[in-house]
Amino acid sequence: MPAVPSCIIEPIWDQFCALIPPVVDDHPLGCHRPRVADRVVFDKLVQVLVLGAAYDKIADTMCSATTIRRRRDEWIAAEIFPALEQICLEAYDKMVGLDLGDLAVDGCITKAPCGGEAAGRSPVDRGKQGTKRSVLVDGDGIPLGTVIAPANRHDSPLLRPTLETLSRFGFDLPEQITVHLDAGYDSKPTRELLEELGCDGEIAVKGVPAPIQNTKRWVVERTNAWHNRGFQKLAVCTEKRARVIEAFIGLANAIIITRRLLREGWTRHRWDTRPARRP
């Protein structure tokens, strides 16, 4: 059984393949081993992301762990993963429409047992190594941007770089934007930042219980659950380099956005070959 259903991964691969730069064979004799197909390596990376397994466990006679890591780094250097995520966002915005008038931001702490550039002492896991993801979503929970930091970083200082990820949309932003935040952001610097950026703020008050069902903040909690429950590599981050973590987050977001796009299309439209069950 594939790590991700073919109806989701096939369109992602078609776009990913189009972003891969051409390979220049500069071997002086031209007698090296045949290059492993990009599709094989891509499927291995998806398995690593979804299953959270080590590269050595995923490797087989068709593709070694060294090849997976080397090809991954080549694609990161070519900035393919953020480009893929951007294309998925633009496609969703064109076909369904992003709700950029209501945004939600929240931090999520996960385990990082191997340490690394984005690891720090976790305040919720007895000081063990952890990583924090500051996630920005639209009004329907579509991930718009993610900033990673050590687990001991507070959510409030990460708000500015998280909101700055909106620059990927250029000037196509609504005039009025409301940012929904939990009580961890209830501070004067947060309100000053929102005022500086020209955004309204719906911030929970510290010490006052506020059922999440009565706010528009619950969608970011659901997106965090999509990350942690659907992608074990993000739930237990064993990567040490920040650029690799960001690449896996970009691939995970592309899968989430494509899955949501397929479900919205199944709900809104009818066609002759429409499946009987929702993908």
CATH number at residue 142: 3.30.420.10
Q: What is the pLDDT of residue 33?
A: 78
- Based on the structure, what is the number of domains in the chain? 2
- The answer on pLDDT for 205 being more than 80 is yes
Lowest mean pLDDT across 16-25, 68-77, 129-138: 16-25
pLDDT per residue as tens digits for the range 73-129: 999 999 999 999 999 999 999 989 999 999 999 999 999 999 999 999 999 888 899
Closest C-alpha to 255, from 70, 11, 75 = 11
In this structure, are 150 and 256 located in the same domain?
A: no
In this structure, are 224 and 108 located in the same domain?
A: yes
In this structure, are 108 and 165 located in the same domain?
A: yes
Q: Are 40 and 62 in contact (CB under 8 A)?
A: yes
- The answer on pLDDT for 214 being more than 90 is no
Q: Which residue has the higher pLDDT, 131 or 207?
A: 131
Report the chain's mean pLDDT, rounded to a whole number: 90
CA 92 – CA 258 distance, rounded (Å): 8
In this structure, are 82 and 21 located in the same domain?
A: yes
In this structure, are 225 and 103 located in the same domain?
A: yes
> CB-based contacts of 214: which residues, under 8 Å, 6+ apart?
none
CA 159 – CA 165 distance, rounded (Å): 10
Mean local confidence (pLDDT), 154-161: 92
In this structure, are 50 and 21 located in the same domain?
A: yes
Q: What is the pLDDT of residue 25?
A: 75
In this structure, are 110 and 235 located in the same domain?
A: yes
- Please name every residue paired with 127 in a beta bridge, in sequence order, or none if there are none: none
Q: Are 201 and 191 in contact (CB under 8 A)?
A: yes
In this structure, are 258 and 230 located in the same domain?
A: no
In this structure, are 47 and 85 located in the same domain?
A: yes
In this structure, are 10 and 78 located in the same domain?
A: yes
In this structure, are 149 and 198 located in the same domain?
A: yes
Domain that holds residue 248: 1-95+242-279
What is the pTM assigned to this prediction?
0.91
In this structure, are 113 and 198 located in the same domain?
A: yes
Confidence of residue 252 (pLDDT cuts 50, 70, 90): very high
Cα angle for residues 49, 72, 258 (degrees, 5° grid): 50
- The answer on pLDDT for 31 being more than 70 is no
- Please name every residue paired with 109 in a beta bridge, in sequence order, or none if there are none: 132
